[in-house]
Amino acid sequence: MGNLDSPIHLNMHPQKQTLLKSCVYRIPALLYERKSETLLAFAEQRKTSSDSHADTLVLKTGKVKEESPDWSDFKSVDEARIEGHRTMNPCPLYERNNQTLFLFFICVEGTVEESWQINNGINKTRLCYIYSEDLGQSWSSVTDLTDTLAEINNWATFAVGPGHGIQMESGRLIVPVYGYAKGGAPYAISLYSDDNGDHWQFGKMLQTKSIECGMAEFFDEGQNSFIYCNARSQEGYRVEAISENDGDEFCKLSGPPTLPETGRGCQGSVISFPAQSEDANTECDQSQDKNKWLLYTHPSNHRRRIDLGVYLNKSPQDPNTWSKPWIINQGPSGYSDLAYIGEGWFACLMECGDKTEIEQIACVQMGTLILINGDLIDKYINV
């Protein structure tokens, strides 16, 4: 395994496309719909950089092309709103059986801050979603799940994602959530549906303190399914946990943690994808139809939100097998979200800028990633 404190800085980088700038845009979430070859990029539009001044969600769609996506103009998702509340934390997921796009989010009363809710043990947050049957061209009205989920009564506050949700091969839909128990400690948890999104319920909270989280399904060599959870932490390293029962309950991975957390913490993204050929001159093996590897993005610096890194793990049950990070954005970098396009191609939506990480939201598209002597590289960029 490579030294996590020695990231790779390549001479060539993926082409970065600025999607949102000028106003304050934060909290990217990305989803790829394979049949239409469409990327859907969501974000918060804010009145200021403060969390308490979030306003509405926006959406851009992109048609995947060989070099970089062709993006539409952005539009506000005005349906994702409750009167007297601000909308935050976009978390999309796609239900393939009915071809339905769900967009989960939270609605927070007025300008009430998360810290006030935690300190007072009084929840002012609602758990909501809307759905679309035409990939975001039109949306349903808001469904508010808050009063149907008894667990929320025991929390000081909570949020979804941010980032994307997943659909398991079995059909189960999973939304990553974290909640603050009354008393102040945060824990990650899954929200899931086994009936294509008609009804939702929570699993069990992680037993390790954990905040913003992402989840991915992977399979071992025996084709057994696992749900991997990667969560923000306040302890200097990321929290990694595994579920053997479809996200109902998670156990922290054994051994010392290896993925560094940044400063007071930062959101990161994780996806699973089929194992790829590691020969730079060999195309991907399309027979690998089970997701067995993990890809993860997060600022690679221990202290500051800079140098967004991409990490690869070919043995997801072993936290010691993460590669060194490949830096895809040098300089200020914040939240990010990954999508697997297929045939070894990926897209990453990220917060970035010249002086701070919240100046813009941009997207990069990456070709097949391979490991050479422990170093993660993009073979199409580096040949």
Give catalytic residue positions.
51, 335, 351
Q: Give the containing element (helix H, strand E) for 113.
A: none
How many degrees, rounded to 5, is the angle at CA 283 between CA 279 and CA 286? 120
Residue 337 tokens, joined: 């979200």
* Sign of the alpha-carbon torsion through 370, 372, 376, 380: negative
The dihedrals phi and psi of 49, each to the nearest 5 degrees, come to -75, -15
Assess contact for 312 and 371: CB atoms under 8 A: yes
Residue 341 tokens, joined: 């396009």
Bridge partners (DSSP) listed for residue 240: 230
Q: For residue 123, give the nearest of 150, 90, 143 by alpha carbon.
A: 150
How many degrees, rounded to 5, is the angle at CA 179 between CA 178 and CA 180? 135
**What type of residue is 80?**
A
**What type of residue is 317?**
Q
DSSP assignment of 133-184 = SSTTSS----EE-GGG-GGGGGEEEEEE-SS--EE-TTS-EEEEEEEEETTS
DSSP 8-state class, residue 169: T
Spatial separation of the C-alpha atoms in residues 54 and 268, rounded to whole Å? 20
Instruction: Give residue 207's Cα distance to chain centre.
Output: 21
Output the CA torsion 107→108→111→114 (10° steps). -130
